[in-house]
Amino acid sequence: MKTSTYLKLLSVFGYALMVQPGFAQGLGKPSGEQTVKERTAVQSDNNNGDRNITIGKTNVDPEKGEAANPQILGLEIPLLDPSSDTVSYNGGKFDVGNNALVRARFEKYLQQNPDDSTEAKRYRKKMRELLKLTQKSARSRREVGSETLLEIGNGLYELNEYPGDGGISGSLASAVASAVAVQYANRSRHRRNDAMQKEIDDLVKKTNTLTNRNTGRGQKAAKTVGKSDTANAPNTSVTNTYTIAHNTKKIATLEAAGVKNDADSIAALELSKINFQSTIISMLMQRRYDHALIGAQVYRHVFRDGDTTLKMDSESPAAKLFESGTGLPPTVNAMATLASNMRHEIDQNMEAVTNMLAQNKLADATQSLIQAVAVGEYMQSVATFPVEGRRRIAEFWSLRRKALSTMNARDYGALEEIAAKMKAMDPDFDDSMLTSYCAGRKAQSDLHLRNAAKALKAGDEATFNDEITKAGAIWPKNPNLEKGRQQLEKIDNQDSVRDEFRTLVERKEFRTIYNEQDKFDVVAIDPELKKQYKDAIALIGTIDGMLAQLDVAAMQDTTMGPCMAYEMLVEQGEKDARYKDDSKYREALNRFALSAHDFTRALENARNCESRREYGSALSNYYRAQCLYPRSTMAGEGVKRITEIVLKAKF
Amino acid sequence: MARKRRSSKDKKSQLPMILGSVGGVGALVVAAAMIMKPSETPESAPESRFSIADYRQDASRLTGNSYRLEARIENIESIGNERLVAVSLPNNAQERLPLVVPNGVTNRVNLTRGDSFVFYVKCRNGKDEQGLDVKGIMLVEKVENM
């Protein structure tokens, strides 16, 4: 059987969990209305002793028009989608790897040590022997109560004593015993019918004789035999008539009893078959493939009429599903084949797990192992899987679980870290989908934050709140959300901030605004204040940039650098009076003036002299300044200005 | 080298009592004249040492004084026939002294940039076009080649 068939069969037997009461609860049924409207259940009529079992009704969601999962014995079959590892059940889809019950069982399995106890070894050995014996019995003479059947039954009761068996062997043994008992009961009824038929035949014969006497067709012969009968002839005739009537009534009674016995035998046989088949199906569902295989082979031994057809509606979806899964009609033989192939597939799966672990392919090994455990938890190859392999897979599985929970928590930063760890453990692990998903969600969140920032600048508080909410919903731990929170606080405090801002502008303390620009950017909501805010930030930014450049220049040329810096600062101060209001500008101006002391003193003297019309001295001082810094604009302009005055003057 | 040429002031001895003092002052003047002996004097007037630092500080104080300067022309600016030369004095290349060279005082001396000359100058005040003072200007009276 190919792997695809194996996977289809997984869907048929749905991890066999459906037959367990806690399965539905364990799946963690999602919210939403259950689409399954009707269910088919076992309906039994105890009065008639008949039992009508309907298997395979289809549930259809009238609104969506989707066919729900088929049912067996009134229970919905979970369908596995191998492409996504999801199981469809009860109107919802569940990830096999993220299913609470499967997860719990798998984790329990990973934490367990292989069962290598003496009892376990003895159990497994006995099971192997029974499997061989049942295979052998298939070739031997089939007879109810044969030695082989007795040995199989005893073997099953022996297996039942091992606690790990869970009473499955006992159930199968009981089913076998029950079927055998029915067979014996039918034999007994058959013998009784034979006896009754013989009695009927005798009665018919006697009745025919008496009838002949009454009608005289046998009188002559009678007279020759008994002469004294002539006198009593009328009385004898009456007596015969009563006897004939009695015999006729008894014959009818016996005939009815015989018919009833036949009907009882047929009904008991059918019921026995159904019970046996149910036991085999139940074992398949419970993933007890060894037991199912034994049961299927014993079935043919117990019921010798050759009828192995499952009591299933041939047109039902379940029957069709069974056929499509196995390619065979729904028979006990098909179940035997199914169980046998499941065992084979699980063994191969476990071999693949071992090989993948040797190649460090932890992701694939984990996926294969969880499928093997989910399908064949009780198989020997699964139960004896070494502890070292379990530990490695448990480590990887733990990361996978953490990734799922982190994804649920929408902590994409942490999720990327986990993906990186998984990639480090298994180089073949495909983390591209995970990382792409994280990157996309983070980008979405950041995009909303950007929109929020835009809204804030535009003064649209409603949009700002909306965008912040969206960003937080997508990525709650987005580090940029803190900035949004701070901006929210600013909005709340914007009235006082506006007042403070206006005061600072009035005092021309632009550097304070610049130093606390994050605090004051909220005033940008007001168009007028926005311009003032931008101007203040631009001004101080320009001053700081210029001062940084001048510092570098002054350090590179300690002679003329300070002169150049001083002159540039003075010029800028003349151009824009706001420069002179800046403390850092003033401090730099004083610093450079001190460094270029001779130059600044010459310029100052020149200006003083010029104001007193001492043009000779003024010109001489400008010359002095020009000597110290030949590119001085101020000195050059002063020389030009006074030269013109002097040359036009009269002496 | 610069020497100041003192202008003569008539000092009439009105009080015989202070003749002795005048005599003392005269002796000092003689002594000073001996110390600041001019290297070349176009006129017979006395000359004194010239300090450009003093000039930069307050040129008005030097008004009326005459000097003989040996200087090198660093720059020449002119408007019409008037020229203003910036000269540097020996051993003081970091300073410039502005000298106004009126038309006709150079005779046949060709003032060229980078060359040194002997300038006979006098510190004077003038008036600009609006009639406002133009103080402390060194006016060249005579130029000689070195």
Domain range summary for chain B, segments of one domain joined by +: 1-6+17-146
- Quick one: which of A623, A650, A616, A617 has its CA closest to A639? A623
Contacts of A650 in chain B (CB under 8 A): 126-128
CB contact under 8 A, B134 and A621: no
Strands (E), A231-276: none
Look over chain A and give the mean of its residue pLDDT values, rounded to a whole number: 78
* Pairing relationship of beta strands A67-72 and B133-145 according to DSSP bridges: unpaired
Q: How far is B140 from chain A (nearest CA, A)?
A: 11
Least confident residue range of A57-61, A368-372, A464-468:
A57-61
Per the CB < 8 A criterion, the answer to whether A619 and A644 are in contact is no
pLDDT of residue A2: 42
pLDDT of residue A355: 92
Q: How far is A643 from chain B (nearest CA, A)?
A: 7
Q: Which residue of A has its CA nearest to B63?
A: A616
pLDDT of residue A381: 86
Whole-number Å distance between alpha carbons of A181 and A175: 10
B→A contacts (Cβ < 8 Å), by residue, are 52, 55-60, 77-80, 82-84, 86, 94-98, 100, 102, 123-129, 132-139
CB contact under 8 A, A650 and B126: yes
CB contact under 8 A, A620 and B102: no
Interface predicted TM-score of the whole assembly (ipTM), two decimals:
0.72
CB contact under 8 A, A614 and B135: yes
Per the CB < 8 A criterion, the answer to whether A309 and A329 are in contact is yes
- Contacts of A401-410 with C-beta under 8 Å, sequence gap 24+, read A401/A103, A403/A434, A404/A97, A404/A98, A409/A476, A410/A441, A410/A474, A410/A475, A410/A476, A410/A477
pLDDT-based confidence at residue A376 (cuts at 50, 70, 90):
confident
Residue A404 is encoded by which pair of tokens? 């799922």
Cα angle A150, A383, A363; round to 5: 145
- Quick one: which of A162, A230, A627 has its CA closest to B95? A627
Sequence letter at residue B117: F
Contacts of A626 in chain B (CB under 8 A): 96
- Quick one: which of A56, A69, A76, A39 has its CA closest to A313? A56
Least confident residue range of A2-16, A498-512, A599-613:
A2-16
Give the residue-averaged pLDDT of A217-243: 58
pLDDT-based confidence at residue A611 (cuts at 50, 70, 90):
very high
Residue A451 is encoded by which pair of tokens? 């929109």
pLDDT tens digits, A573-589 = 999 989 999 999 999 99
Task: Please report, for chain B, how many H helices and E strands are present, in that order.
Answer: 2, 5
Per the CB < 8 A criterion, the answer to whether B34 and B21 are in contact is no
Contacts of B136 in chain A (CB under 8 A): 614-617
Q: Would you tell me how many other CB atoms lie within 10 Å of the CB of residue A501?
A: 23
pLDDT of residue B101: 93
Asked if the model's pLDDT at residue A567 lies above 70, the reply is yes
Question: Among partner residues B57, B60, B128, which is closest to A645 by beta-carbon distance?
Answer: B128
CB contact under 8 A, B86 and A623: yes
Least confident residue range of A459-468, A550-559, A639-648, B11-20:
B11-20
Per the CB < 8 A criterion, the answer to whether A137 and A125 are in contact is no
Q: How far is B39 from chain A (nearest CA, A)?
A: 25
Q: Which residues contact A89 (CB under 8 A, 6 or more apart)?
A: A14, A18, A24, A27, A69, A76, A78, A79
Residue A206 is encoded by which pair of tokens? 């006697």
Q: Is the dihedral of CA A151, A152, A157, A158 positive or negative?
A: positive
Residue A74 is encoded by which pair of tokens? 């009134």
Contacts of A619 in chain B (CB under 8 A): 98
Give the residue-averaged pLDDT of A66-82: 46
pLDDT of residue A142: 61
Question: Among partner residues B96, B124, B135, which is closest to A627 by beta-carbon distance?
Answer: B96
Give the SS3 label for residue A123.
helix
Whole-number Å distance between alpha carbons of A351 and A343: 12
Whole-number Å distance between alpha carbons of A83 and A159: 38
Give the end-to-end CA distance of chain A in Å, rounded to a whole number.
Answer: 127
Q: A211-225, A295-309, A487-501: which has the highest mean pLDDT?
A: A295-309
CB contact under 8 A, B136 and A644: no
What is the DSSP-derived secondary structure letter of residue A309? Answer: B
Give the SS3 label for residue B75.
strand
Asked if the model's pLDDT at residue A456 lies above 60, the reply is yes
* Pairing relationship of beta strands B133-145 and B92-101 according to DSSP bridges: parallel
Q: How far is A605 from chain B (nearest CA, A)?
A: 8
* Higher per-residue pLDDT: A104 or A617: A617
In degrees to the nearest 10, what's the CA dihedral of A412, A413, A414, A417?
A: 110
- Contacts of A389-394 with C-beta under 8 Å, sequence gap 24+, read A389/A353, A389/A354, A389/A357, A389/A365, A390/A109, A390/A110, A390/A111, A390/A112, A391/A110, A392/A357, A392/A362, A393/A110, A393/A357, A393/A362, A393/A365, A393/A366, A393/A369, A394/A107, A394/A110, A394/A111
Q: Which residues contact A106 (CB under 8 A, 6 or more apart)?
A: A369, A370, A373, A374, A397
Whole-number Å distance between alpha carbons of A466 and A398: 37
Contacts of A646 in chain B (CB under 8 A): 84, 98, 100, 134, 137
Burial class (CB in 10 A: 0-12, 13-18, 19+), A336: buried
pLDDT tens digits, A126-158 = 998 998 888 877 666 666 667 788 888 889 999
CB contact under 8 A, A650 and B57: no
B137 DSSP β-pair partners: B124
Whole-number Å distance between alpha carbons of A267 and A578: 110
Asked if the model's pLDDT at residue A4 lies above 70, the reply is no
pLDDT-based confidence at residue A224 (cuts at 50, 70, 90):
very low
Longest dimension (CA), chain A: 208
Domain range summary for chain A, segments of one domain joined by +: 118-223+234-307, 403-492, 493-589, 596-651
pLDDT of residue A339: 85
pLDDT of residue B82: 83
Q: What share of chain B is helix, strand, coil (3-state, %, to 5)?
A: 20, 40, 40
Whole-number Å distance between alpha carbons of A105 and A92: 21
pLDDT of residue A227: 47
pLDDT tens over chain B, length 146 residues: 444 544 444 444 455 555 555 555 555 544 444 444 434 344 444 455 788 888 999 888 899 999 999 999 999 998 887 899 999 998 888 889 999 999 888 888 899 999 999 999 999 999 988 999 999 999 999 999 98
Whole-number Å distance between alpha carbons of A242 and A246: 6
pLDDT tens digits, A314-344 = 666 556 656 666 566 678 888 888 888 888 8
Q: Would you tell me how many other CB atoms lie within 10 Å of the CB of residue A329?
A: 15
For residue A80, give the H/E element and its range.
strand A79-81
Per the CB < 8 A criterion, the answer to whether A134 and A298 are in contact is yes
Which strands form A92-95's sheet, in the order they lie side by side? A79-81, A86-89, A92-95
The model's pTM = 0.44
Residue B24 is encoded by which pair of tokens? 């003392």
Q: Which residue of B has its CA nearest to A648?
A: B128
Least confident residue range of A399-408, A508-517, B16-25:
B16-25
CATH code of domain B1-6+17-146? 2.40.50.140
Give the residue-averaged pLDDT of A82-99: 53
Asked if the model's pLDDT at residue A16 lies above 50, the reply is no
Contacts of B73 in chain A (CB under 8 A): none
Per the CB < 8 A criterion, the answer to whether A110 and A390 are in contact is yes
Whole-number Å distance between alpha carbons of A384 and A123: 13
pLDDT-based confidence at residue A165 (cuts at 50, 70, 90):
confident
Q: Which residues contact A211 (CB under 8 A, 6 or more apart)?
A: A240, A244
Interface mutation target, options B135, B140, B141, chain A, most CBs of A under 10 Å: B135
Q: Which residues contact A502 (CB under 8 A, 6 or more apart)?
A: A529
Asked if the model's pLDDT at residue A59 lies above 70, the reply is no
Q: Which residues contact B143 (CB under 8 A, 6 or more apart)?
A: B101, B105, B106, B107, B109, B111, B117, B118, B119, B120
What is the DSSP-derived secondary structure letter of residue A326? Answer: H
pLDDT tens digits, A426-445 = 888 888 888 888 899 999 99
Per the CB < 8 A criterion, the answer to whether B104 and B40 are in contact is no
pLDDT of residue B14: 58
Helix A362-376, helix A332-358: angle, nearest 10: 150
Sequence letter at residue A532: Q
Contacts of A615 in chain B (CB under 8 A): 134-137
User: In Å, how far are A46, A476, A558, B72, B125 from A174, measured between CA atoms?
Assistant: 22, 59, 109, 136, 143
Size of interface A-B (CB pairs under 8 A): 97
* Higher per-residue pLDDT: A485 or B47: A485
Q: Which residue of A has its CA nearest to B132?
A: A613
Whole-number Å distance between alpha carbons of A622 and A601: 10
